[in-house]
């Protein structure tokens, strides 16, 4: 292992979340939504009787996952709007999974778009869509053209940036596997080596600490 950590330092929390624009859209959409509280790890379909849904996440955090293999596509944290940023993408291919206890407001996308147009709020929708596209671009930049080891290290750093509730309820292995689909043996071998080297601290499968990670394995 090399001690050069320059590449690992490239992982940064995306800071471009357009919260002001999200809140403006929330303001007009919330009165039309049906709200419900969900427990942690609840799977929720993004479509209801062939009707694509817009979801308003007002409390908690969630992930958008692929139906065919459960791969985590993106994380989202309240306040957030799911469904409007990904217009044109078939929502039947994905589902939402709550990562903490969460509160969601559901509204048909057609109704949400109608209200947004009536209230002349399209500029706020554009910012939401731009954020969605850039977030996916950030994710691909961390997955494309890098080794399995580098990807695992990047996800360890990302896990350390999650809330204490998520970190203490999600094993490091599960967090990485759900976002990469790497084999169990490969992930566990790398985690074991990093733990033995003192680069990370894992207790009962839960990540407690990440130090300066080696650039190569």
Query: How confident is the model at residue 7, as a pLDDT?
Result: 38
Q: What is the mean pLDDT of the chain?
A: 87
Predicted confidence band of residue 11 (pLDDT cuts 50, 70, 90): very low
Domain positions in the chain = 19-141, 147-210
Six-digit token string for 158? 């990302």
Predicted structure pTM score: 0.81
The rounded distance, in Å, linking the Cα atoms of 130 and 37 is 28
Q: Are 171 and 208 in contact (CB under 8 A)?
A: no
* Superfamily of domain 19-141, CATH level 4: Jelly Rolls (2.60.120.10)
Overall average pLDDT of the 173-191 stretch: 94
Contacts 24+ apart (CB under 8 A), 70-77: 70/178, 71/178, 71/179, 71/181, 72/178, 72/179, 73/136, 73/139, 74/135, 74/136, 74/139, 75/99
Q: Do domains 19-141 and 147-210 have the same CATH topology?
A: no
Query: Rounded to 10 degrees, what is the CA torsion of 125, 130, 131, 135?
Result: 150
Report pLDDT digits (tens) over 150-168: 999 999 999 999 989 899 9
Query: How confident is the model at residue 100, as a pLDDT?
Result: 93
Six-digit token string for 63? 């992930």
Report pLDDT digits (tens) over 34-53: 999 999 999 999 998 888 99
The correct answer on CATH 3.10.450 for the domain covering 147-210 is no
Six-digit token string for 80? 């957030």
Report pLDDT digits (tens) over 51-84: 899 999 999 999 999 999 999 988 899 999 998 8
Overall average pLDDT of the 105-133 stretch: 93
Predicted confidence band of residue 6 (pLDDT cuts 50, 70, 90): very low
Task: Give the highest mean pLDDT range of 124-133, 140-149, 184-193.
Answer: 184-193
């Amino acid at each position: 292992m090399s001690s050069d950590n320059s590449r690992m330092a490239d992982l940064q929390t995306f800071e471009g979340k357009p919260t002001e624009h999200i809140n403006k859209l929330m303001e007009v959409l919330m009165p039309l939504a049906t709200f419900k509280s969900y427990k942690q790890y609840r799977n929720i379909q993004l479509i209801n009787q062939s009707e694509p849904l817009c979801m308003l996440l007002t409390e908690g955090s969630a992930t958008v996952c692929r139906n065919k293999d459960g791969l985590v596509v993106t994380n989202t944290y309240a306040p957030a709007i799911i469904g409007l940023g990904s217009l044109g993408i078939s929502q039947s291919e994905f589902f939402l999974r709550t990562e903490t206890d969460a509160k969601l407001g559901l509204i048909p996308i057609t109704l949400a778009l109608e209200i947004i147009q009536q209230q002349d709020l399209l500029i706020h929708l554009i910012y939401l869509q731009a954020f969605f596209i850039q977030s996916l671009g950030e994710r691909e930049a961390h997955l494309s053209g890098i080794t399995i080891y580098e990807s695992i290290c990047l996800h360890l750093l990302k896990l350390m940036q999650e809330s204490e509730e998520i970190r203490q309820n999600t094993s490091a292995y599960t967090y990485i596997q759900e976002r990469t689909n790497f084999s169990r043996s490969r992930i566990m071998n790398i985690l074991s080596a990093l733990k033995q080297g003192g680069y990370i601290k894992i207790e009962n499968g839960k990540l407690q600490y990440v130090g300066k990670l080696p650039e190569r394995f």
